Structure 1
Amino acid sequence: MTVRLPAADGTFRSHEPRGDGSARVAGGAPPVSRTVFAAAHVVADPYADTTPDGPAAVDWDATLAFRRHLWAHGLGVAEAMDTAQRGMGLDWGGAAELIRRSAAEARAVGGRIACGTGTDQLTRPAGDLATVRAAYEEQLALVEECGAQAILMASRALAAVARGPEDYLDVYGHLLGQASEPVVLHWLGPMFDPALEGYWGSRDLDAATETFLEVITAHPGKVGGVKISLLDARREVDLRRRLPRGVRCYTGDDFHYPELIAGDDQGFSHALLGIFDPLGPLAAHAVRVLDTGDTRAFRRLLDPTVELSRHLFRAPTRFYKTGVVFLAWLSGHQSHFTMVGGLQSARSLPHLARAYELADGLGLFPDPDLAAARMASLLAVHGGVR
Structure 2
Amino acid sequence: MWSMREVRGETTGRRFGRRPPPEAGPAGWATAGLVVLFLALALLSLLIGTGNSSPARAWDYLLGDPAARADSQLRLALLDVRLPRTVAAVLVGVCLGTSGCLLQAATRNPLAETGLLGVNSGAAFAVVLGLTYFGAASSAALLVWALVGGAAASAVVLLLAASGRAAGSPLRLVLAGSALGATFHGLTAYVLLGTRSTFDTYRYWTIGSLAGVDLADLLPLLPLAAVGLLVALGCARPLSALGLGDDSARSLGHHPGRIRLVVAGAVSLLVGCAVAVAGPIAFLGLLAPYAARAVAGARTAVQLALSALVAADVMLLADILARVVIRPWETPVSVLLAFVGGPLLIWIARSARLSTAGASA
TM-score relative to the length of structure 1: 0.25
Q: Between Structure 1 and Structure 2, whose CA radius of gyration is higher? A: 2
With a CA cutoff of 8 Å and minimum separation of 6, indicate the structure with the bigger relative contact order.
2
- Larger relative strand fraction: 1
- Larger relative helix fraction: 2
